[in-house]
Structure 1
Amino acid sequence: MVAIVLMATTSGAPGWLAGLLGACITAPHLFGPFIAGSLDAARDGRTVIALACMAHGVTLGAAVLLYPMTWPIVPALLLIASGLVGPLLTGGISSRLAAIAGSDRTSQRRAQGWDVATYGIGGTIGPSLVAAVSAWASPAVAALILAGSTFVAAAVVRLLPFSGPVAPGSEIPRPGRTLMMMVSSGKLRRTLYMTVVIALSVAALPITAVASTGELRVEPAAAGVLTAAYGLGGLVGSAGVMIRPLRAEADLSMTCLAAAVGVVLLGAAFAGVFPLAVAAYALAGVLNSRFFAATLAARSEYAPAQARGQVFVWIGALKITAGSAGTALAGAIVAPAVHLPLVLAAALIAVAVAASILDRRLGRGIARI
């Protein structure tokens, strides 16, 4: 998305068009679950993911090459096609963890820590590569390099352990039925809404980092230090899960870690001085990574085998959509009050935590009856 936005802006396009083209990559993730059934039904899920990698690369590359020569609607449609397969490259790959790590819960949770780390590493290396190549050549070249790298990813995916279909195609639920199954299952329901709430909330951190430099009495460029602290904290948190996997039940861990994230967001909002703000952003990264690992464990352990791939993709797609919405909302409300996005985020998390506690107690009561 960074490469596409840079490519559009450096070509003289208005900001609204650059933002729209960037959104064409992320917004279609919401519809990814409607093609995710192929993961659970396929004879070899690796083939589905590898084909998705290549489709992503071809459509992204075509959009970049055609952008200077056609109406913007053409690259926009290609980017939408590229975004549609995006969930298969995130949640789809995460759904392979059981085949990679084996059936031992500790091994699986250690692998989930590594999975969380790959998101952080990719989110750091990707924009850095775009910035370096854009300075050396152009944003278009950077985007083409990223598109080409997906073909390398397709080849590497084929090296993952084989895992055959868990059920006949006739037993694989449709996307709508899978979503209803998630909503009706207490543990998966809590995984779904808490993932969405945390993604929506932490998305306010980069916006607040930029807006709060004046109050913290530092230069505007210091916002980069805050966001870097958050990113590094995320890597530290994922490393911690790899070294010492989460031991508690995933459902309970999500509630506890979500509450901790909410407290730290309040701390970041009212830090007052720059060193404390850096520490709060770093701690938010650590806790968010551990929360992410807990949601991966919940998806893996609570989803039925015949719909596991769809569950991973559904939650991953909604998480990305929530993150985009969180960034947009924070940008819209940060001007009148710098603290407002993080305060509202913390309040939303508090509501989600309370709902999860009540939800769990009601579920236990019904089970006793």
Structure 2
Amino acid sequence: MVAVVLLVTSSGGSGALAGVLGACITAPHLLGPFVARPLDLARDGRKVIAAACLLYATALTAGVLTYGHAPAVLTGLLLAAAGTCGPLLTGGISSRLPAIVGPRPRLRAQRRAQGWDVATYGIGGTVGPSLVAALSGWVSPTAAALALAVGAAAAAGGILLLPFTAPSHGGDRSAILRPGATLALIARTGPLRRTVYLTMIVALSVATLPITAVHMTKILGIEPATAAVLTAAYGLGNLTGSIGVMVFPLTGDPDRLMRRLALGVVAGLLTVTASPAFAVTASAYALTGILNAFFFASTLAARTEYAPSGARSQVFIWVAALKITSGSAGTALAGSLTGVTVRLPLVAGLLAVSAAVVVATVETRLTRADEKRP
């Protein structure tokens, strides 16, 4: 999305057009659950993800090269085609984790592998924009976007090197749930339901941080450009947290871990809100990034352990799609609330996460009480 926005703005395009074309990359992630079923149906899911990588690379290349030489609508459609493949490149790859770890892994090994998975998101989220910024400055935004397309194409080969997993349907494709049925399964399965709404609300809350960083420079009395330092501190914290999960794998029940670590994110947001000076704010951003990485690892553990084998890919992608959508909503919310007061998005976020944890805790206790009844 950064590459697309730079491509438009550097050529004199309007901010509105840059926003619309950027949204063409992210918005189609909501369609992820509807493209996920072929992953569960396929005899070899690796080929589905590899094909998605190649289609992503092709559509992104075509979209970038047509910009300025064809109607913007065509460029938008091509970028949307790339965005539709996005969920298979995120949640789809994460769903292969059990096959990589092995059929009967020790819990510690499985959790460490989930830490590695979290790290790939952290590294990608840090290296990707940095690469785009560097290539845009040295060559052009077009070259930066094309480099990303080459990376996606190369990833197709890497996907095929992952261990093969026999299809969970055992030849009976009718056993694979459809997207609506998968969502209904998530809604009626307590741990999966809690995974979804905790993931969504935490994503919405932390998505306010980059927008808030820009406006907090005013009340901290520093240059607006320093907001990049705060955002980088969050990214570095997220990457540090990912490494922490690898070195010290999470232990315990994922359902409980999610609630506790979501409260950790609340503590980080509260620290950002109350910080009186730039150094404290930067540290608070880094702390929130660390805690969010641990929370993300707990949601991966929950998806792995609570999703039925016949719908695991769809569950992973449903959660990933809803997370990205919720993050986009958080960015929009922050943009509107900062007009009222700078810290309002942070306060709204930490209150929302706290409320979600309370609901999840009450729900869990009621379920346990029902199970104990004769």
**TM-score normalised per structure 2:** 0.97
User: Secondary structure at 1:268's aligned position in 2?
Assistant: helix
- Deviating above 3 A after TM superposition, structure 1's stretches of 4 or more consecutive aligned residues are none
Whole-angstrom CA distance in 2 between matches of 1:180 and 1:129: 40
Tell me if structure 2 keeps the 8 A contact 1:129–1:142. yes
Q: Which residue of 2 aligns with 1:316?
A: 320
Q: Which residue of 1 aligns with 2:72?
A: 72
Whole-angstrom CA distance in 2 between matches of 1:228 and 1:70: 36
Whole-angstrom CA distance in 1 between matches of 2:244 and 2:135: 32
Q: Which residue of 2 aligns with 1:221?
A: 225
Identity %: 56
User: 1:368: how far off?
Assistant: 2.5
Q: Which residue of 2 aligns with 1:244?
A: 248
User: Secondary structure at 2:182's aligned position in 1?
Assistant: helix
- Deviation string, structure 1 residues 187-220 (Cα, Å, up to 9, x no partner): 0000000000000000011111111012122222
Tell me if structure 2 keeps the 8 A contact 1:200–1:325. yes
- Deviation string, structure 1 residues 242-290 (Cα, Å, up to 9, x no partner): 0111011100000001011112201101101111111111110110000
Q: Which residue of 2 aligns with 1:190?
A: 194
Q: Which residue of 1 aligns with 2:337?
A: 333
Q: Which residue of 1 aligns with 2:11?
A: 11
Q: Which residue of 2 aligns with 1:230?
A: 234
The partner residue of 1:133 within 132, 135, 144 is: 135
Whole-angstrom CA distance in 2 between matches of 1:324 and 1:127: 17
- Deviation string, structure 1 residues 95-126 (Cα, Å, up to 9, x no partner): 01111112322111101111111111111111
Whole-angstrom CA distance in 1 between matches of 2:160 and 2:304: 21
The partner residue of 1:281 within 285, 289, 297 is: 285
User: Secondary structure at 2:219's aligned position in 1?
Assistant: coil
User: 1:55: how far off?
Assistant: 0.5
The 5-angstrom pairing of residues 152-171 of structure 1 reads 152-167=154-169, 168-171=172-175
Q: Which residue of 2 aligns with 1:357?
A: 361
Code of the residue aligned with 2:48 in structure 1: it is V
The partner residue of 1:111 within 97, 110, 113 is: 113
Whole-angstrom CA distance in 1 between matches of 2:141 and 2:177: 42
Q: Which residue of 2 aligns with 1:346?
A: 350
User: 1:365: how far off?
Assistant: 2.0
User: Secondary structure at 1:117's aligned position in 2?
Assistant: helix
Whole-angstrom CA distance in 1 between matches of 2:61 and 2:330: 28
The 5-angstrom pairing of residues 82-121 of structure 1 reads 82-102=82-102, 103-121=105-123
User: Secondary structure at 1:212's aligned position in 2?
Assistant: helix
User: Secondary structure at 2:276's aligned position in 1?
Assistant: coil
- Gaps spanning 5+ residues in structure 1: where? none
- Deviation string, structure 1 residues 146-201 (Cα, Å, up to 9, x no partner): 11111110001111111110113110000000000001000000000000000000
User: 1:362: how far off?
Assistant: 1.5
User: 1:308: how far off?
Assistant: 0.3
The partner residue of 1:293 within 297, 309, 323 is: 297
Whole-angstrom CA distance in 2 between matches of 1:98 and 1:313: 15
Code of the residue aligned with 2:236 in structure 1: it is L
Tell me if structure 2 keeps the 8 A contact 1:215–1:272. no
Whole-angstrom CA distance in 1 between matches of 2:282 and 2:3: 28
**TM-score normalised per structure 1:** 0.98
RMSD: 0.9
- Gaps spanning 5+ residues in structure 2: where? none
Q: Which residue of 2 aligns with 1:47?
A: 47
User: Secondary structure at 2:251's aligned position in 1?
Assistant: coil
User: 1:221: how far off?
Assistant: 2.0
Whole-angstrom CA distance in 2 between matches of 1:148 and 1:68: 21
- Deviation string, structure 1 residues 47-97 (Cα, Å, up to 9, x no partner): 000000001000010011111211100010111111111000000000011
Whole-angstrom CA distance in 1 between matches of 2:55 and 2:111: 30
User: Secondary structure at 2:164's aligned position in 1?
Assistant: coil
Q: Which residue of 2 aligns with 1:253?
A: 257
Q: Which residue of 2 aligns with 1:56?
A: 56
The total of aligned residue pairs comes to 369
Code of the residue aligned with 1:152 in structure 2: it is A
Whole-angstrom CA distance in 1 between matches of 2:127 and 2:337: 30
Whole-angstrom CA distance in 2 between matches of 1:215 and 1:10: 30
Tell me if structure 2 keeps the 8 A contact 1:254–1:294. yes
Whole-angstrom CA distance in 1 between matches of 2:280 and 2:135: 34
User: Secondary structure at 1:36's aligned position in 2?
Assistant: helix
User: Secondary structure at 2:218's aligned position in 1?
Assistant: coil
Whole-angstrom CA distance in 2 between matches of 1:349 and 1:75: 37
User: 1:227: how far off?
Assistant: 1.1
Tell me if structure 2 keeps the 8 A contact 1:196–1:319. yes
Whole-angstrom CA distance in 2 between matches of 1:119 and 1:196: 17
